[in-house]
Structure 1
Amino acid sequence: MKYNHKFRRTVISSVVATALLGGISAPAFAEVKFGALYPLSGGLALLGEESYRGLELAVDQINANGGVQGETVVLETGDAVDNNQAIGEARRLISREDVKAIFGTYASSRSIAASQVAEMSKVPYFELGAVADDVTERGLNYVFRTNPTAYHMAETIIEMLVEGIAPELGVDPTELRIGIIHEDSNYGSSVGKHQRAFAEEHGLNIVMEEHYPASSVDMSSIVLSLQEEEVDVVLQTSYQDDSVLFLRQANERDYRPKAIIGGGGGYSMTPTAEAVGHDVIDGVYDVDFTQYNIDPEFAPGIEDFVASYEEKYEESPRSGHSLMNYAGALELLRAIDAGSGFSADEIKEAVLAMDVPVGGTAAGIGIKIGENNQNERASMMGMQWQDGELVTVYPEGASVADMRTSQ
């Protein structure tokens, strides 16, 4: 996807905003600017744009209700195509556009780079989608994260394997031979580290670990190693391109482990299933942000979100990244609206006062900023591709289908 300058500056029209919420409240007239920093071109553009759409829908809703502190929210958008551009765009948004805070960024390494710039400039930075530990473990004062983390992803993967997948296979989880593979940035490395720790706590047998660049064009050697080690369960933490590459090459070599559990957006996207074929991805598990085939009582408002998304973009959501960004941004903007101003410390005070219970958002998560400015009420979901759809299978309270195995 090429960077489109339509993203540069977005003011949500009163017509669109009114359509979103059925025409309530008078629109605001003054403007307050916030930054929106995502990879909108390059290899991560698809999920970058999907994440941005969630933020945009939250702004629609806020502006339809009168804006923030009586002012219309304007998004000044930057393209974080790589770490260097993320830094440059963060500087531009702060110095030239005078944004009051920055929302972003989906890709962990780019979030880490850009948020350091914001911290030095004393501008709040709200991470809505990146999961690496370092995003909120650097002791920064003005960097906040609403989404679940690498820790949550790894924890859910291991718990789903032990409590759900192994019993469904009819085997003791300690008898399974497990292989961990991941892309080698902060994102994959963080998840892999926690997977090892949780696996060891449960006495699981890890027989292979390997990392690779997300830009890899050949993973056949990794597939061969998995086969030679007779790996029963593959845990892959990946972006979209490397997810597709692994699934294709595993299929080409007729490698069929008892279970593949993906971590991250690559495994949760409809375009990934279409790229590899539904016959190939059927039965594959994924742990990620809340997706759309979920019990709506667990995620109140999710059906309205999907309706608004389809009306605005004339297609169905492509991933739960839009939903998680929407849920986080909406609550952050509501908190700022309830605050006393737009200085960094006034925004920080408002954000630290957030108290949204679990189940209080369309993504099912709650929001309470705790240690390291991390949301302590965030969680991941366990899904499985079944008959062309990604359905929630874990935990039980959110599930809409039972797990399936071919064993």
Structure 2
Amino acid sequence: MFRYAAIGLTSALALGAGAGAAHAEVKFGALYPFSGQLALLGEESARGLELAVEQINSEGGVQGEQVKLVQGDAVDNNQAIGEARRLIAREGVKAIFGTYSSSRSIAASQVAELSRIPYFELGAVAEKVTSRDLGYLYRTNPTAKDMARTIVDMIVESVAPELGMDPSELRIGIIHEDSSYGSSVAEFENKYAEEAGLNVVAEQAYPASTVDMSSIVLLLKEENVDVVLQTSYQNDSVLFLRQADEENYDPKAIIGGGGGYSMEPTAEAVGEDVIDGVLDADFTQYNVNPEFAPGVKEFVEDYKAKYDSAPRSGHSLNNYAGAMALLHAIDDADGFGPDEIREAVDAIDIPMGETAAGYGVKFGENNQNTRAKMMGMQWQDGELVTVFPEEAAVSELKLQD
């Protein structure tokens, strides 16, 4: 699919992807947390964008110009704002792609809005990202609401039947990191749990930087929680799983909300004996029915060829799928002005099942992709496999009572 040799991420973002000196270039910003606590998933997300740009450039670029990605490091909210300003004022980017972190996306996209620069969010899930009535912000990925809906549906339709229990009999505990990401997912988990008649008996927020979750484990044990829902990043995912194991806390099910629960490094950090059986709701991952997600196998092959490793999570895939839809649309625009880009993006109409992430792309209210969906996965024998919904699954959900 791609015709360019593998080079490092930083070099590609600094130099452009496959652009020759004789070609005209158009600059787009790549604003992600490349350093700091969220760097691992930030870089993984950016790799998907980079692969999309390489493919577009191999096909002739956008409107005949090679795309050059200019990196911005959104290590925290303040730096995300500063980097957005730099990308727009000093680098002259025509649009910004990013950003993975909801809080950083919210901060940086406000800068882009004031400058009338399109901001394309490919990975942040908090509802607030697209609930601010911004005209130049578009989000291709599914949201916190989708994640919570998937988790509750999975409990009702798969977890409870597998355990031989009525869903209302299960004692649910919700724990989450306290930024806009975790808080947004938890809000909708409570909402949909109540609508489904689920019994939420415990809820606890915590800072993602926490170094001790023993008190939360104790709370869950004291409340006899059967099913734990954790919305987290990688470090706090690992911390909870380790401390729950150390305290011999073995609930009937643990369901992660994206972040660390989808990552190979998390499984490596806690070990297969701890991660096996753990469930997860997140973006489309790689062990998915290829008929549901056409092109996913080719994406994995190209990722391995470029980075000499398997993808570390589905964040790269979803950034790739969203970026491809947007870049093809911009290619059809009448120029690189903000309103020309908006008009082209507004016209995107990709049906379900026609992207490598499985979902389609069509923007609705607040420029949110109305066809983006989450999937349900489970760690089985050291691999994260899709188990929900049925049309995307490659294995059955398995639990031990």
Cα-to-partner distance string for 1:297-326 (whole Å, 9 max, x where unaligned) = 000000110111011111110000000000
Counterpart code for 1:304: E
**Who is 2:294 aligned against?**
300
- Once residues 31 and 287 of structure 1 are traced to their aligned partners in structure 2, the CA distance between those partners, rounded to angstroms, is 39
Runs of 4+ in 1 over 6 A off after TM superposition: none
Residue 4 of structure 1 deviates from its aligned partner by: 8.6
**Who is 1:221 aligned against?**
215
Query: In structure 2, the residue corresponding to 1:362 is in which secondary structure?
Result: coil
Under a length normalisation based on structure 2, what TM-score does the superposition of the two structures give? 0.97
Query: In structure 2, the residue corresponding to 1:235 is in which secondary structure?
Result: strand
Query: In structure 2, the residue corresponding to 1:85 is in which secondary structure?
Result: helix
Counterpart code for 2:234: Q
Q: Please say if residues 34 and 74 of structure 2, whose CA atoms lie closer than 8 Å, have aligned partners that are also in contact.
A: yes
Label 1:113 to 1:14 Cα distance change in 2 as closer, same or farther (>3 A). closer
- Once residues 70 and 245 of structure 1 are traced to their aligned partners in structure 2, the CA distance between those partners, rounded to angstroms, is 49
- Once residues 39 and 393 of structure 1 are traced to their aligned partners in structure 2, the CA distance between those partners, rounded to angstroms, is 30
- Find out whether 1:331 has 2:336 as its counterpart: no
Alignment of 1:225-240 (within 5 A): 225-240=219-234
Alignment of 1:184-199 (within 5 A): 184-199=178-193
Give percent identity, aligned residues only: 71
**Who is 1:204 aligned against?**
198
- Once residues 230 and 104 of structure 1 are traced to their aligned partners in structure 2, the CA distance between those partners, rounded to angstroms, is 40
**Who is 1:118 aligned against?**
112
**Who is 1:129 aligned against?**
123
- Once residues 205 and 11 of structure 2 are traced to their aligned partners in structure 1, the CA distance between those partners, rounded to angstroms, is 37
**Who is 1:23 aligned against?**
none
Which residue of 147, 152, 155 maps to 1:158?
Answer: 152
Cα-to-partner distance string for 1:212-235 (whole Å, 9 max, x where unaligned) = 000000000000000000000000
- Once residues 131 and 65 of structure 1 are traced to their aligned partners in structure 2, the CA distance between those partners, rounded to angstroms, is 31
Counterpart code for 1:217: V
Which residue of 271, 281, 301 maps to 2:265?
Answer: 271
- Find out whether 1:12 has 2:17 as its counterpart: yes
- Once residues 336 and 185 of structure 2 are traced to their aligned partners in structure 1, the CA distance between those partners, rounded to angstroms, is 35
Which residue of 59, 72, 85 maps to 1:91?
Answer: 85
Query: In structure 2, the residue corresponding to 1:52 is in which secondary structure?
Result: helix
Q: Please say if residues 52 and 324 of structure 2, whose CA atoms lie closer than 8 Å, have aligned partners that are also in contact.
A: yes
Name structure 2 gaps, 5 residues minimum: 1-7
Counterpart code for 1:203: G
Query: In structure 2, the residue corresponding to 1:32 is in which secondary structure?
Result: strand
- Once residues 120 and 182 of structure 1 are traced to their aligned partners in structure 2, the CA distance between those partners, rounded to angstroms, is 32
Name structure 1 gaps, 5 residues minimum: 16-26
- Once residues 369 and 113 of structure 2 are traced to their aligned partners in structure 1, the CA distance between those partners, rounded to angstroms, is 18
Q: Please say if residues 162 and 173 of structure 1, whose CA atoms lie closer than 8 Å, have aligned partners that are also in contact.
A: yes
Cα-to-partner distance string for 1:9-35 (whole Å, 9 max, x where unaligned) = 2311269xxxxxxxxxxx981100000
Residue 5 of structure 1 deviates from its aligned partner by: 5.6
**Who is 2:375 aligned against?**
381
- Once residues 395 and 70 of structure 1 are traced to their aligned partners in structure 2, the CA distance between those partners, rounded to angstroms, is 40
Residue 365 of structure 1 deviates from its aligned partner by: 1.0
Query: In structure 2, the residue corresponding to 1:29 is in which secondary structure?
Result: coil
Cα-to-partner distance string for 1:108-158 (whole Å, 9 max, x where unaligned) = 000000001000111000000000011000000000000000000000000
Q: Please say if residues 28 and 67 of structure 1, whose CA atoms lie closer than 8 Å, have aligned partners that are also in contact.
A: no
Residue 406 of structure 1 deviates from its aligned partner by: 1.4
Cα-to-partner distance string for 1:238-258 (whole Å, 9 max, x where unaligned) = 000000000000000000000
- Find out whether 1:81 has 2:81 as its counterpart: no
- Once residues 363 and 28 of structure 1 are traced to their aligned partners in structure 2, the CA distance between those partners, rounded to angstroms, is 34
- Once residues 361 and 262 of structure 2 are traced to their aligned partners in structure 1, the CA distance between those partners, rounded to angstroms, is 23
Label 1:8 to 1:299 Cα distance change in 2 as closer, same or farther (>3 A). closer
Q: Please say if residues 10 and 77 of structure 1, whose CA atoms lie closer than 8 Å, have aligned partners that are also in contact.
A: no
Q: Please say if residues 284 and 375 of structure 2, whose CA atoms lie closer than 8 Å, have aligned partners that are also in contact.
A: yes
What's the Cα RMSD here? 1.4
Label 1:51 to 1:192 Cα distance change in 2 as closer, same or farther (>3 A). same
**Who is 1:310 aligned against?**
304
**Who is 2:4 aligned against?**
none
Q: Please say if residues 99 and 124 of structure 2, whose CA atoms lie closer than 8 Å, have aligned partners that are also in contact.
A: yes
Question: Across the two proteins, how many residue pairs are aligned to each other?
Answer: 394
Query: In structure 1, the residue corresponding to 2:390 is in which secondary structure?
Result: coil
- Once residues 256 and 18 of structure 2 are traced to their aligned partners in structure 1, the CA distance between those partners, rounded to angstroms, is 39
**Who is 1:288 aligned against?**
282
Q: Please say if residues 28 and 70 of structure 1, whose CA atoms lie closer than 8 Å, have aligned partners that are also in contact.
A: no
Counterpart code for 2:18: S
- Once residues 182 and 269 of structure 2 are traced to their aligned partners in structure 1, the CA distance between those partners, rounded to angstroms, is 22
